[in-house]
Every structure is written in structure tokens, then in C-alpha cells.
């Protein structure tokens, strides 16, 4: 069933900086890689995303004098958590984790390159308006059903899955192949938000 061209596996941000030892390490971030590699064997359409920021990105605390990592600020597009510098374009931290199988991916989508706007979702930047092009790609390929896995459950996985559901795709998230940052209740909020958008939550 998964092998159908109508289904795609979307693997979010399995990059060195989100794994133990990285700049924005997600607890257990590398524990999910073997499972994700196994899941890839049952999909014929696989998309990898990569958080890909310029060195002076506005989501970095270092770009806001007087602010610290994990502080919240107001951006023209709404609330923004300030992060440690991470996934800088071309850096080792931005590379996919070495254990992740990447050879079978059809598309590698990079996001967060616009200095002014963060992009948690693989579909829209955080202004919820500027498209990444992923929707068009999936529609052109006839994909209707998406399974999301990867990092982090409560940020990039959450916003990608919710945007996909809003766009009318049939969406599942497999929590056994995701790990969360869990900042001030963000994991519970993410699970509520995904459920409210009729996303199938698997693997918990």
C-alpha cells in the first residue's frame, strides 16, 4: 500500500545539529534513524527536508543583542522562539546525520534560507503565506497521503503536518520515529493541534 505513488514519506530535519552533540540537540534525536531507514524500504516516494539557515538568521538569539537562546520575541509575522545558532548553510551541523539513508530520496527540500522569516513547516514559511514549493511538487506527482517522521515533533514535524492537513492531504505522524524538544509544554500543544486537524497519530 505504501509503495503506491499516492503515498509519500516525509522525513523532517534529521540533521547533525538536531542530534546529540549538535547545536540544538533533540533528546534521543538519533534513536529514530534506524527505524526511519527501515520505513523507507516500504515507500517509493521519499522527501527529505533540511533546515538551512544563513549565518545571521533572525531566528538565532545571536542576531538579537541582549537576548538569550529560548527567549521569545515578536516578529512581524508573530511570536518567534530564539534558538541557538543551528543548521547554518553548508556547515557540518546542517548535514544529514551520517546514519540516515539518503540515497533513495526523490526530493531534498531546504527551508529557512530567508534571513527575515523562520520556516518550521515544509510547506510555508512562518508568515504562513510564503510557499516552499512542496505542495506543488506533491500535487504534480499525484501524492495524496503523507506520513511524517523526524525532528522535532513539536516544531518542524508539527507545523509541516498541520499545514499538509490544511491543504487537504491525508496526514499521519508516526511518533515512534519522531523526537521532541518540549519547550514550555510545546509537545502537548503540538499533539492537541495535530489531533484537532484530523491527523492520524501513530506509534505512541
Q: CA-CA distance, 147 to 182, in Å (whole number)?
A: 21
Active site annotation includes 13:
yes
**Residue 122 CB, nearest distance to Zn ion (Å)?**
12
Neighbouring residues of 71: CB distance < 8 A, sequence distance ≥ 6: 61, 64, 81, 82
Could you say which of 13, 85, 101, 163 contacts ligand VGL (CB under 6 A)? 13
The catalytically annotated residue of 51, 118, 154, 156 is 156
Please answer whether residues 147 and 155 qualify as being in contact, where contact means their C-beta atoms are separated by less than 8 angstroms. no
Q: Which is nearer to Zn ion, 170 or 182 (CB)?
A: 182
Residues in a beta bridge with 53: 88
DSSP code of residue 5: T
Per partner kind, with CB cut-offs from 5 to 8 A, the member of ligand VGL, Zn ion, none near residue 152 is ligand VGL
Does position 43 interact with ligand VGL (CB under 6 A)? The reply is no
Please answer whether residues 82 and 60 qualify as being in contact, where contact means their C-beta atoms are separated by less than 8 angstroms. yes
Active site annotation includes 166:
no
Contact residues toward Zn ion (CB under 5 A) are 51
Please answer whether residues 26 and 86 qualify as being in contact, where contact means their C-beta atoms are separated by less than 8 angstroms. no
Neighbouring residues of 182: CB distance < 8 A, sequence distance ≥ 6: 154
Does position 191 interact with ligand VGL (CB under 6 A)? The reply is no
Does position 152 interact with ligand VGL (CB under 6 A)? The reply is yes
By CB under 6 A, name the binding residues for ligand VGL.
Answer: 13, 18, 51, 83, 120, 151-152, 155-156
Catalytic residues: 13, 111, 156
Amino acid at each position: 500500500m505504501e509503495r503506491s505513488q499516492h503515498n509519500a514519506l516525509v522525513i523532517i530535519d534529521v540533521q547533525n545539529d538536531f542530534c546529540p552533540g549538535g547545536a540544538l540537540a533533540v533528546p534521543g534525536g538519533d534513536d529514530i534513524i534506524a527505524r526511519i531507514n527501515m520505513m523507507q524500504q516500504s515507500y517509493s516516494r521519499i522527501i527529505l527536508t533540511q533546515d538551512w539557515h544563513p549565518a545571521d538568521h533572525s531566528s538565532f538569539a545571536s542576531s538579537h543583542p541582549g537576548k538569550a537562546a529560548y527567549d521569545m520575541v515578536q516578529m512581524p509575522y508573530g511570536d518567534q522562539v530564539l534558538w541557538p545558532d543551528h543548521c547554518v548553510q553548508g556547515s557540518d551541523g546542517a548535514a544529514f546525520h551520517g546514519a540516515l539513508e539518503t540515497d533513495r530520496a526523490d526530493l531534498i527540500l531546504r527551508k529557512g534560507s530567508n534571513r527575515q522569516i523562520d520556516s518550521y513547516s515544509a510547506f510555508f514559511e512562518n508568515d504562513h503565506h510564503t510557499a516552499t514549493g512542496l505542495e506543488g511538487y506533491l500535487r504534480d506527482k499525484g501524492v495524496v497521503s503523507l506520513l511524517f517522521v523526524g525532528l522535532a515533533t513539536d516544531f518542524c514535524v508539527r507545523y509541516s503536518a498541520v499545514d499538509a492537513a490544511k491543504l487537504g492531504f491525508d496526514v499521519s505522524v508516526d511518533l515512534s520515529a519522531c523526537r521532541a524538544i518540549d519547550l514550555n509544554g510545546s509537545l502537548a500543544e503540538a499533539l492537541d493541534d495535530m489531533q484537532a486537524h484530523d491527523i492520524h497519530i501513530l506509534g505512541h
